[in-house]
Structure formats: C-alpha cells, structure tokens
C-alpha cells in the first residue's frame, strides 16, 4: 500500500476517505476527536483492518464484532446498535446490531459473532454457533 490514510483513536481501522461517515463516528467516539494522517505502510505494519465503508472491497457477508460494529452501522442502512440489560453490570450493554424491518423482512438482531448477509437489498442474519460467540 502506498500514500497516506486516515486513522483516529476511536477506531482500529484505517480510512482512505476523509469524508467517510464511519471515520466521523469514530472521531466523535474518541477522547481527542482528532483524525491523524499516517503513511499507508504504517497502517499495514500496525495490522489495521481496512474500513468496511470507505476502503474494503464491497462485500456481501460480514461477521459482527465489537471492532466493526460502527462501520456496519454506517454500511447497513436499516440498522442501529442493539442493547440488552446485563444483570451482572446492572446496565444496558451493546450486544450487536439491530437490523430494522425492510423489504418485507422483520426486525432482527445480529449479535457479536453472528454473520450478516446482503443480497439484493435484503439483509439476513445467520447465528454463530455457541462456541464461537
Ligand atoms: Zn472509512
């Protein structure tokens, strides 16, 4: 990889588009709110993943992780973070992504470890096996 890329403390990914919505969300989530420009080689050396929104090749399947949740939220139009009550912590914690009802499909939750597939505007969720989660 050559040239420069954009990174922020709010995300582990590197971005190639300064106008990327996921980069902006990560910037807002970081303490400093700063976007840094680094050499692309440095991002490679740090083993940063390519942003799913502005940099990674278009995909039709993603495994939901804590690291890519914000990017999937930007990428998948009918979605929002999913929260459930963690009784041990006595507070709501983020467990994954809610895919809102769309194209005749009902609302469904993709928890961390589950796979989301995209086909002709329809998003479906395929649960991980328990040992993966
Ligand atoms: Zn991006």
* Whole-number pLDDT of residue 29: 86
Q: Which residue has the higher pLDDT, 10 or 13?
A: 13
Strand-pair category, 35-39 with 4-8 = antiparallel
Residues with CB under 5 A from ligand 1 (ion): 15, 20, 22-23, 51, 53-54
**How close is the Cα of 44 to the center of ligand 1, in Å?**
15
* Whole-number pLDDT of residue 131: 58
What is the value of pTM for the model shown?
Answer: 0.87
* Whole-number pLDDT of residue 66: 93
Quick: pLDDT tens for 15-57: 999 999 999 999 998 899 999 999 999 999 999 999 999 999 9
**How close is the Cα of 130 to the center of ligand 1, in Å?**
31
* Whole-number pLDDT of residue 53: 96
Evaluate whether 110 touches 64 at the Cβ level (below 8 Å).
yes
Tokens of 9: 């403390």
* Whole-number pLDDT of residue 2: 77
**How close is the Cα of 76 to the center of ligand 1, in Å?**
14
* Whole-number pLDDT of residue 74: 94
**How close is the Cα of 88 to the center of ligand 1, in Å?**
34
**How close is the Cα of 75 to the center of ligand 1, in Å?**
10
**How close is the Cα of 81 to the center of ligand 1, in Å?**
18
Quick: pLDDT tens for 45-95: 999 999 999 999 999 999 999 999 999 999 999 999 999 999 998 999 999
Phi, psi dihedrals of residue 81, rounded to the nearest 5°: -60, 145
Tell me: pLDDT of 132 over 70: no
**How close is the Cα of 24 to the center of ligand 1, in Å?**
8
Domain chopping of the chain, boundaries: 4-45, 61-126
Q: What is the 3-state secondary structure (H, E, C) of 13-58?
A: EEECCCCCHHHHHHHHHCCCCCEEEEEHHHHHHCCCCECCCCCCCC
């Amino acid at each position: 990889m050559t040239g420069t890329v954009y990174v922020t403390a709010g995300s582990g990914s590197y971005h190639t588009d300064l106008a990327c919505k996921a980069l902006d969300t990560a910037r807002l989530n970081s303490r400093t709110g700063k976007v840094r420009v680094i050499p692309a080689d440095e991002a490679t050396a740090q083993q940063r993943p390519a942003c799913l929104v502005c940099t990674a090749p278009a995909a039709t399947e993603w495994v939901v992780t804590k690291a890519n949740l914000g990017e999937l939220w930007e990428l998948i139009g009918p979605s929002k973070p999913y929260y459930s009550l963690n009784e041990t912590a006595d507070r709501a914690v983020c467990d994954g992504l809610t895919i809102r009802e769309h194209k005749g499909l009902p609302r469904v939750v993709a928890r961390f470890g589950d796979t989301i597939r995209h086909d002709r505007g329809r998003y479906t969720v395929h649960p991980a096996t328990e040992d993966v989660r």
